[in-house]
Amino acid sequence: EVQLVESGGGLVRPGRSLRLSCTGSGFTFSAYAVSWFRQAPGKGLEWVGFIRSNPFGGTTEYATSLKGRFIISRDDSKSIAYLQMNGLKTEDTGLYYCTRVQAVAGSDYWGQGTLVTVSS
């Protein structure tokens, strides 16, 4: 069974950093791109960015507004993708999801999300 589990969320002060993890199981993690999305409380879905699989260069793409503050990486030996968030702002508060990205179907499996609260 394909599963994705996010972890690392919590309460953090503005300006601080936080690293989220996304652990995949039930599939060949290294063969897939991984994307991150977020959802502010009571709001819609927002794409954060994604990392391609290493056969496709392992390169990353980001939402324009987040470029430079957020960094996505992966460790295929552990089946984990990371979202490093720096210089956090109150508007970064929300539920962060990771997804497996299929070439054709896009984000076909989602984790349950991890909550990030940025507040003083």
Partner 1 sequence: EIVLTQSPGTLSLSPGERATLSCRASQSVRSDYFAWFQQKAGQAPRLLIYGASSRARGIPDRFSGSGSGTDFTLTINRLEPDDFAVYYCHQYGSSPPWTFGQGTKVEIK
Report DSSP state, residue 41.
Answer: T
Q: 4 pairs with which residues across the strands?
A: 24
Cα(44)–Cα(115) distance, integer angstroms: 15
- Give 91 or 108: the residue with its C-beta nearer to partner 1: 108
Tell the smallest beta-carbon distance from residue 78 to partner 1 (Å).
22
Cβ 115 to partner 1, closest distance in Å? 12
Query: Looking at the DSSP assignment, which residues form a beta bridge with residue 5?
Result: 23
Q: Which is nearer to partner 1, 84 or 115 (CB)?
A: 115
Per CB under 8 A, residues contacting partner 1 are 35, 44-47, 49-50, 61-64, 97, 101-102, 104-113
| Residue 61 vs 76, nearer CB to partner 1 | 61
Residue 67 to residues 3, 21, 105: CA-CA distances in angstroms? 28, 19, 25
